Amino acid sequence: MKEIRRSARLANVSYAVRGPLVAAADELIAQGVDVLKLNIGNPAAFGYSTSHSVIEAMSRRLDGAQAYSHSRGLPEAREAALAYCRSKGIKDITANDVYIGNGASELIAVCLNALMADGDEILIPSPDYPLWTASANFTGGKAVHYRCDESSDWMPDLADIESKITDRTRAITIINPNNPTGALYSEDMLLRIADIARRHGLIVFCDEIYDRLLMPGEKHTSLASLVDDLLVITFNGLSKSHQICGFRSGWMCISGDRSGAADYIAGINVLLSMRLCPNVPAQFALIEALKDPFECKPQFMPGGRTYEQIVTTAETINSIPGMSVKQARGAFYMFPRIDAKRFNITDDNKFCMDFLKEKHVLVVAGTGFNWPDPDHFRVVCLPEVSVLKEAMERLGDFLQTYRQ
Ligand SMILES: Cc1ncc(COP(=O)(O)O)c(C=O)c1O
């Protein structure tokens, strides 16, 4: 048979969270090995479950979920998401500015595909949630990474952002709270990013899927609530706050200055029409879930499951010689630093693979999150405390002798 090759558009597209390390872990599991999987932010896979009312509302309305809905989503679902966006302080929006998606992922891809032409650039954080880079590169445009600074709690490096803007830059993405670092941005930081966007005519994409997953005392601010003279698209969803990744339920809100964006928004609507509609049962779940958007809050209180998992993981990592980590302020990920010099690590994927094969713990290498150096990995703090502690203790053991 003639060789069938993938499209050239896939040249710079990858998704490490489900990549070769995971395939290797699955092979070990097939051989009967008990692998501790710390690679994916999928709460239900770790025994989390949404409230009964959400499941019940969806089940009760299944009979009425057989037809396509409007391609932007059911009016009732859009009203529910609109009320949430307004509760975050986003002004001057109606249900027509709100779109329901099969997860935030679908809406991110749609917004990038509707925007980017060959050679166009978008600023994306490094490290990032790699869907952003993959989706941007898949359009034929280019993800350009700006550095987030570990020494200042993983805040975006504003000078680096400025230095990377060209006449092809169309937009900037912020992920707040951040996957993979757990960083949370202050109002001042958001205003500074908005100022850069204003001066260079950039769209701002705000990925806020973790905005309800906050450590005690933390407050999330939506950038869209602070500005009305920029085009801002805010993405959110229920995968993490309600532990229903599998339902595929998200939304986005287009706010701010839409005066010059009619053609872009029309393009978004064309792409959304082509996917026909978001799945309807999950929209019924969304309507119910957004009656209690902060369902996940108790998990993040002292004594709550996710809080304890984050604190224990950070403490255990910080007790390992040659390792350090900033404790997450939001979301449930952390991005620990390994002293690459001390362990002579030049290839972080090899490091993760060696750790997996020897100690049966799966983490994703930092370069998979578009971090340039081989000195980080991401840990997901969703397994029970005992599992996380065990995994990090195995890491300590492993590093006692590991050298590349
Ligand atoms: C930052 C970020 N954005 C978006 C998504 C995708 O969310 P959804 O399940 O709504 O597609 C994830 C999933 O891990 C994420 O971490």
For the Cβ of 237 lying below 6 angstroms from any atom of ligand 1, the answer is yes
Higher pLDDT, 190 or 294: 190
Is the pLDDT at 17 greater than 80, yes or no?
no
For the Cβ of 43 lying below 6 angstroms from any atom of ligand 1, the answer is no
17 and 64 part of one domain:
no
Is the pLDDT at 117 greater than 90, yes or no?
yes
246 and 316 part of one domain:
no
98 and 227 part of one domain:
yes
Number of the ligand 1 atom closest to the C-alpha atom of 333: 16
pLDDT at residue number 330: 97
Q: Which of 289, 314, 342 is the last residue of a domain?
A: 289
How many domains are there within the chain?
A: 2
Number of the ligand 1 atom closest to the C-alpha atom of 40: 14
311 and 281 part of one domain:
no
Q: pLDDT tens, 75-103? A: 999 999 999 999 999 999 999 999 999 99
Name the residue of 129, 181, 206, 275 whose CB sits within 8 Å of the most ligand 1 atoms, as the mutation to test its pocket. 129
Q: pLDDT tens, 364-375? A: 999 999 999 999
Kindly state whether residue 2 falls inside one of the protein's structural domains.
Answer: no
Distance 240 CA to ligand 1 centre (A): 8
Kindly state whether residue 81 falls inside one of the protein's structural domains.
Answer: yes
Q: For residue 191, with 0-12 CB atoms within 10 Å meaning exposed, 13-18 middle and 19 or more buried, which class applies?
A: middle
Question: For position 246, which CATH number holds?
Answer: 3.40.640.10
Task: Assign 139 a pLDDT band (cuts: 50, 70, 90).
Answer: very high
The residue whose C-alpha atom lies closest to atom 16 belonging to ligand 1 is 179
pLDDT at residue number 334: 97
pLDDT at residue number 42: 92
Cα separations in angstroms, 184 against 39, 141, 169, 218, 290: 21, 28, 25, 8, 22
Task: Assign 40 a pLDDT band (cuts: 50, 70, 90).
Answer: confident
Q: Mean of the pLDDT values across residues 92-115? A: 97
Name the residue of 102, 174, 179 whose CB sits within 8 Å of the most ligand 1 atoms, as the mutation to test its pocket. 179
Q: Mean of the pLDDT values across residues 175-182? A: 98
Distance 400 CA to ligand 1 centre (A): 35
Distance 173 CA to ligand 1 centre (A): 14
Q: Mean of the pLDDT values across residues 263-268? A: 97
178 and 246 part of one domain:
yes
Q: Name the token pair of 154.
A: 């993983």
Q: pLDDT tens, 299-317? A: 999 999 999 999 999 999 9
219 and 271 part of one domain:
yes
Task: Assign 11 a pLDDT band (cuts: 50, 70, 90).
Answer: confident
Task: Assign 15 a pLDDT band (cuts: 50, 70, 90).
Answer: confident
What residues make up the domain containing 194? 52-289
pLDDT at residue number 259: 94
Kindly state whether residue 1 falls inside one of the protein's structural domains.
Answer: no
262 and 173 part of one domain:
yes
Q: For residue 217, with 0-12 CB atoms within 10 Å meaning exposed, 13-18 middle and 19 or more buried, which class applies?
A: exposed
Is the pLDDT at 16 greater than 90, yes or no?
no
Q: Which of 225, 256, 289 is the last residue of a domain?
A: 289
Q: Name the token pair of 193.
A: 């990013």
80 and 191 part of one domain:
yes
Task: Assign 296 a pLDDT band (cuts: 50, 70, 90).
Answer: confident
For the Cβ of 290 lying below 6 angstroms from any atom of ligand 1, the answer is no
Is the pLDDT at 65 greater than 90, yes or no?
yes
For the Cβ of 281 lying below 6 angstroms from any atom of ligand 1, the answer is no
Is the pLDDT at 12 greater than 90, yes or no?
no
Task: Assign 20 a pLDDT band (cuts: 50, 70, 90).
Answer: confident
Contact 272, 72 (CB under 8 A): yes
Q: Which residues contact 285 (CB under 8 A, 6 or more apart)?
A: 50, 54, 55, 57, 58, 238, 242, 244, 247, 249
19 and 129 part of one domain:
no
Kindly state whether residue 3 falls inside one of the protein's structural domains.
Answer: no
Distance 262 CA to ligand 1 centre (A): 27
Q: Which of 258, 289, 320 is the last residue of a domain?
A: 289
42 and 56 part of one domain:
no
Distance 103 CA to ligand 1 centre (A): 7
Element (H, E) at 137: helix 131-138
What does DSSP assign to residue 103? H
Kindly state whether residue 362 falls inside one of the protein's structural domains.
Answer: yes
Kindly state whether residue 22 falls inside one of the protein's structural domains.
Answer: yes
Is the pLDDT at 18 greater than 80, yes or no?
no
Q: Mean of the pLDDT values across residues 22-35? A: 93
Q: Mean of the pLDDT values across residues 226-253? A: 96
Kindly state whether residue 162 falls inside one of the protein's structural domains.
Answer: yes
Kindly state whether residue 397 falls inside one of the protein's structural domains.
Answer: yes
Burial letters 48-82, b for 16+ CB under 10 A, else e: bebeeebeebbeebeeeeeeebebbbbeebbbbbb
| Average pLDDT over all residues of the chain | 95
Task: Assign 9 a pLDDT band (cuts: 50, 70, 90).
Answer: confident
For the Cβ of 239 lying below 6 angstroms from any atom of ligand 1, the answer is yes
250-256 and 323-324 strand pairing: unpaired
97 and 243 part of one domain:
yes
Question: For position 44, which CATH number holds?
Answer: 3.90.1150.10
Backbone angles phi, psi at 396, to 5 degrees: -55, -45
Number of the ligand 1 atom closest to the C-alpha atom of 175: 1
Q: Mean of the pLDDT values across residues 338-348? A: 95
The residue whose C-alpha atom lies closest to atom 13 belonging to ligand 1 is 41
Number of the ligand 1 atom closest to the C-alpha atom of 238: 10
**In this prediction, what percent of the chain has a pLDDT beyond 70?**
100
For the Cβ of 127 lying below 6 angstroms from any atom of ligand 1, the answer is no
pLDDT at residue number 46: 93
